[in-house]
Amino acid sequence: MNWGTMVIFGLFHVGAIAALFMFNWRAFAVTLFLYWFCTGLGISMGYHRLHTHRSYSVPKWLEYLFAVCGTLTLEGGPIFWVATHRLHHQKSDQPGDPHSPRQGFWWAHAGWIISGETIHNNTALMSKYAPDLGRDPFYRALNTWHWVPTVVLAVLLFAIGGLPMVLWGIFLRVVFGLHATWLVNSATHVWGSRRFETRDDSRNTWWVALITFGEGWHNNHHAHPTSARHGLAWYEFDLSWIQVNILKALGLAKSIRVAKVNSAIAAEREAA
């Protein structure tokens, strides 16, 4: 067991439970905004679709901002996250996959991160799997000091709203975001529908997509990993894809990659 990680996650879960006894609407509203800002922009738009798969490009300052947002989720630095996810795609549901439900649902959900040697701060090792980020001094520094933005945010929230604001805006938000992201590793490889016959067990799970800004359309993603659009049909709500289009309209998002799957969707409808 990685006891350091276990203790931190345990304290965060205790804090999340304590937040429920200190509810106020101001803290709740701030938490909703921060969940979108940190998990929506940081993980879905940033770490995943931008930094890992390069599904689109944005100015460097915005790319860096998304990375900082990602660190506010307690999911590690950008190099660690990107390297782990790229390895997941290379070995998906095969030996070497960091988090496959074939090794147990709990393992895929959280076991892989709380047991074994921690490599969050091993920037040199993880850079081998994410050399594009490893060559950037900003990403190397952020990967090592990924916990600093969360501490700074906690101090700001305490100054704004005291302990309830910290419990909601940091502890409860982070815990909910962690489990939402982990569900993409676990639930979307177990439950849901399969539009594409991929070599792994990936599935489209609508309820995971709703809480992860579109990441639950996982079978679509594994079939077309570089596509910025994960919800490929009109009824597959994908907030991150909508936001990519907003950035495009603002002149900020360019080189957008989109899967061409109209024929596959038409065949699915015909079969239904």
pLDDT tens track for 27-36: 999 999 999 9
Strands (E), the chain: none
Number of other CB atoms surrounding residue 268 within 10 Å: 15
Banded pLDDT at 116 (limits 50, 70, 90): low
Alpha-carbon gap, residue 175 to 192, rounded angstroms: 24
**Sole residue written with tokens 């936001």:** 243
Q: Are 77 and 143 in contact (CB under 8 A)?
A: yes
Q: Residue 216 and residue 231: Cα distance in Å, rounded?
A: 9
pLDDT classification of 267: cutoffs 50, 70, 90: low
pLDDT-derived band at 161, boundaries 50, 70, 90: very high
In degrees, to the nearest 5, what angle opens at C-alpha 202 toward C-alphas 174 and 101? Answer: 65
Confidence tier at 40 by pLDDT (50, 70, 90) = very high
Burial class (CB in 10 A: 0-12, 13-18, 19+), 28: middle
User: What are 167-225's pLDDT values in tens digits?
Assistant: 999 999 999 999 999 999 999 999 999 999 999 999 999 999 999 999 999 999 999 99
What is the structure's pLDDT at 270?
47
pTM: 0.93
